[in-house]
Structure 1
Amino acid sequence: MRYYFIHFCLIAQLAFTALLHAQNPTSYPNKHPSTIAFQLPETGLITEGIGYDPITQTFYISSVHERKIISYTAKNGTTDFSRPADSLWGMFGLKVDPTRRLLWGCSSALPQAKGNTPASDGHTALAAYDLKTRRLITTYPVPVDGKPHLLGDLTLSKTGTVYSTDSRSPWIYRLEAGSKVVTPFLTDSLFRSLQGLALSDDEKTLYVADYRRGLLAVTLSTKQVTCLSCAQTTDLSGIDGLYYDQNSLIAIQNRKKPYRVIRIQLAKTTSAITKVEILETDHPLSSEPTLGVVVDKQFYYIANSQWDAFDDAGKPVPNFPAQKPTILVVPLH
């Protein structure tokens, strides 16, 4: 979701990774606990977000470039979930609300999305789908104010309220349950480039990843923002996806190599970090991992988003080696 942070890799390195996978896609050193959960047959998607419906055991994967949502089940494989008539922009973070049978997604216009125009660039919205009918219910646009916006990720409260981060204009937005309008919720002097976010179990604290600063904690009742990573010697910058799991946070770091999946253990009574544990690092298939989803005691994440397949103007990079979008899974406990 940080299209302006994209780092170009050497074509030779990418080609080697693709060749290694083609020769033996499941044979990697034992030091890598992540394994392939599934792959998508279509290349050139820029796969960014992933959600999971525990009721139907269906995964949903977002595509920035093709401006769509794809569904996957072990039984039926992949199929397009959204329709061209939905007129989505590039799709980013996804979250399933299993209680209300809704799929929420962040839809944002940017050059890497096919058919993007200067007139639409910087527009963004939340999109809500009915999982029963597989139809778009409506979109909730962020009001146009002359500034560029990009809702890149979101999280849901137990009551159905949506919180979403804007990575181009540093705001957290909120769509309250039952409301029809996305409203600005909070900005702060600590905000630079907001990415993933996650609510604590008691929903008193909203944890937010800032790509430059690291990990922040927002006390929702007071809107007080605390920098949790500022007291850490461990580098917690470059966090993209962020997920709450049993008094800890699962985070994907992709700003620089080696790309990592980490667990950030939280103190039980104070807003502080007690330990940082590496769950996965430098996996051979990991070429800019982005977002993920916790399913039971496992973490599924997009390993190779392939932002580098397109330049900053949204044009395909010549001779870029096509790769199947790969979802890896790593055990959490």
Structure 2
Amino acid sequence: MKRLILAALALSFTASAQAQTVDPASDLGQFRSLRGDGMTALDKGDTATAMDDFAKAQAILPDSPSIPLLRAQVFLKERRKTEAKAALLDYLKRGNVLDLTQNTEFNTIWDSDLENQLQLNQTTIGSMEGLAGLNGFNIVEGMAFVPDQQQLYLTSIHDGKVIALSPQGATDVINFRPGVAAYGLGLRDGTLYAATVHSRLTAGYDPAKPIASKIVSFSAADGKVLAAVTDPAKPDREFGHLLLGKDDLYVTDTAHGEVLRLTDYGQTLETLIPEGYMDNPQGLAENADATVLMVTDFTSGLYRVDLTSGAMARLLPPAEGNLLGITSLSRYGNDLIAVQNGLKPNRILRLHMSADWTQVDQVEILLRAPKSLAQPTQGVVNGDDFVFVADSQWSNLDDRGNAKSDTPGPAVIGVIKLKP
């Protein structure tokens, strides 16, 4: 049984190194504790306790990919085939896929309902137009877009620069220090804001000479640096995605699982979401009147932060919805457009939100295109279009972070049409 359990857990999300501390009282902490207790009970042969723990864990994270597989395996051990099939169907209806050659224990109960759902999860939905391509090996993560000029600003993780890409060609806007790259990017009134980090994937990286993460603002026209903000209290921060809000700037810190705020675009960072709640915060979006901030944690889903009171709550997915593995959020009216590269095939989603953003009413798949989406990263809403990095070149890296090819296909910027 232990071999099967480990195989199931290998399918769960592993986007971060989990170096930060997770509060055991948080949703994520409770989920991990219950899952661990359940596996311990299984090792002791106590399947009743294990299943009780797994049920409680699934109530916290209904879209967890590991729990239904664990439950299905236990049901099979107990010869409860009907329940095992139901657990697998729940797993598949959340959009997950399964390689039966790696999970052969499920062959004994596999039927047409399961096979049809598996095939459905891999079919193409929607269509995408190619807006632009960037040649060379770059690894494009962050982006900003000026529609009237057809001007894109893209971050190159491999080269540690921000590139301006237009129909006239590509030019470098700014080159950061060796080993430093921008993971987050935004544009406001002609000024670019970049969240930089010392990255081993960037040319010139030297682990013996650590460089603090910064929020760097610079002119989009000539790359002149205007200001740089860091956090001297925590020099080991690793800034990720950022959001240029109506009044304040927000940035994620993947090293500590925190979200920080730069009030009034000033010079002092303050902690909005402290360490202990999230594993790997990524996507950020603000509502129209700047009273609510939405944050995606790659591992545990979608969180709502009341910017007036500071209260935070995690939103449960709707039935058969999946809010895990989301790396980017953009507001479209009252809804959210999400890039979900934690599922394969990757997807672009529309999260239909309640009026006050306290509930996700529906998860709609706008685009699922295995031939077009390759580790999509970030995007922006432009009118009724969603412009995003469709092929980031992250897939050109092997499991150790080494390039598979020095001359991969171009990074691709795509656009999909949104319906009001």
Indicate which of 32, 42, 48 corresponds to 2:141.
48
Q: Which deviates the most, 174-183 or 190-199?
A: 174-183
After superposition, what is the alpha-carbon deviation per residue over 1:191-221, rounded to whole angstroms, capped at 9, x for unaligned?
A: 1210010100011100001001111110011
2:221 corresponds to 1:221: no
- Structure 2: 5+ residue stretches without partners: 1-14, 19-122
Give yes or no for contact 2:298–2:325 (8 Å, CA) kept in 1: yes
| Secondary structure of residue in 2 paired with 1:217 | strand
Q: Given residue 158 of structure 1, which amino acid in structure 2 is its aligned partner?
A: K
Alignment-derived partner of residue 91 in structure 1: 182
The equivalent of 1:324 in structure 2 is: 410
Q: Does 1:78 align with 2:166?
A: no
Structure 1: state its 5+ residue gaps: 6-28
Superposition RMSD in Å: 2.5
User: Using the alignment, how far apart are the partners of 2:166 and 2:399 within structure 1?
Assistant: 33
* Residue 10 of structure 1: aligned partner: none
Contact 1:242 / 1:252 at 8 angstroms: preserved in 2?
yes
Is the Cα contact below 8 Å between 1:66 and 1:90 reproduced in 2? yes
Cα deviation for residue 39 of structure 1 reads 0.3
SS of aligned partner of 2:192:
strand
Task: Please list the CA deviations of residues 70-120 of structure 1 after superposition, one character each: whole Å capped at 9, or x if unmatched.
Answer: 11223x122111146x6671111211113xx21111111121111111145
* Corresponding residue number in structure 2 for 1:35: 129
Q: 1:112 touches 1:312 (CA, 8 Å); kept in 2? A: no
Shift of 1:236: 0.8
Tell me which protein shows more helix as a share of its residues: 2
* Larger gyration radius, structure 1 or structure 2: 2
Aligned residue number for residue 196 of structure 2:
107
- Residue 257 and residue 49 in structure 1: after superposition, are their counterparts in 2 closer, same or farther (change >3 A)? same
d(CA) in 1 for partners of 2:260, 2:150? 29
**More relative contact order, 1 or 2 (CA 8 Å, 6+ apart):** 1
Q: Is the 8 A contact 2:213 2:230 kept in 1?
A: yes
The 1-side partners of 2:204 and 2:375 are apart by 24
Q: Which amino acid aligns with 1:129?
A: F
Paired residue secondary structure (1:169): coil
Counterpart in the other structure of 1:153 = 241
Change (3 A) 1:309 1:230: same
Note the C-alpha offset of 1:133.
4.0
- The answer for the alignment partner of 2:30 in structure 1 is none
Amino acid at match of 1:287: A
User: Which of the residues 353, 375, 382 maps onto 1:266?
Assistant: 353
Report if aligned partners of 1:51, 1:293 keep a CA contact under 8 Å in 2: yes
> Partner letter of residue 40 of structure 1?
L
C-alpha displacement of 1:185:
2.5
Shift of the 114–229 alpha-carbon distance from structure 1 to 2, 3 Å rule, reads farther
Superposition TM-score, scaled by structure 2 size: 0.66
Deviating more after overlay: 108-117 vs 52-61: 52-61
1:242 matched to 2:335:
no
The 1-side partners of 2:350 and 2:393 are apart by 24
Percent of pairs with identical residues? 26
Aligned residue for 1:177, secondary structure, equals: helix
Are 1:116 and 2:232 an aligned pair? Answer: no
Deviations, residues 248-276 of structure 1 (Å, cap 9, x unaligned) = 00000111301000000111145111111
2:52 alignment partner in structure 1: none
Report the 3-state secondary structure (helix = DSSP H, G, I; strand = E; otherwise coil) of the residue aligned with 2:361: strand
Q: Which moved more, 1:187-196 or 1:109-118?
A: 187-196
Which among 243, 250, 254 is matched to residue 167 of structure 1? Answer: 254
Output the TM-score relative to the length of structure 1: 0.82
The equivalent position to 1:256 in structure 2, one of 343, 351, 358, is 343
- Which residue of structure 2 aligns with residue 184 of structure 1? 271
Aligned equivalents of 2:133 and 2:171: distance in 1? 12
Distance 1:278 1:91, change over 3 A: same
Query: Which amino acid is the alignment partner of residue 193 of structure 1?
Result: N
- Partner amino acid, structure 2, of 1:37: L
1:38-91 per-residue CA deviation (whole Å, 9 max, x = no partner) reads 1012x22111011013564421011111100011223x122111146x667111
Are residues 266 and 322 of structure 1, via their aligned partners in 2, closer, same or farther at CA, if it must alter by over 3 Å?
Answer: same
Q: Is 1:143 matched with 2:232? A: yes
Alignment partner, residue 20 of structure 1 = none
Change (3 A) 1:305 1:270: closer
Task: Say which SS state the counterpart of residue 303 (structure 1) adopts.
Answer: strand
| Secondary structure of 1:190 counterpart | coil
TM-superposition CA deviations, 1:117-137 (whole Å, max 9, x none): 114557311111123443221
Give the Cα–Cα distance (whole angstroms) in 1 for the partners of residues 372 and 357 of structure 2: 37
Instruction: Look up the equivalent residue of 2:130 and give its one-letter code.
Output: I
Residue range with higher mean Cα deviation, 199-208 or 223-232: 223-232
Sort the Cα spacing of 1:38 and 1:142 in 2 relative to 1 into closer, same or farther, 3 A: same
Letter in 2 for 1:328: G
**Match status 1:58 vs 2:147:** no
The amino acid across from 2:183 in the alignment is F
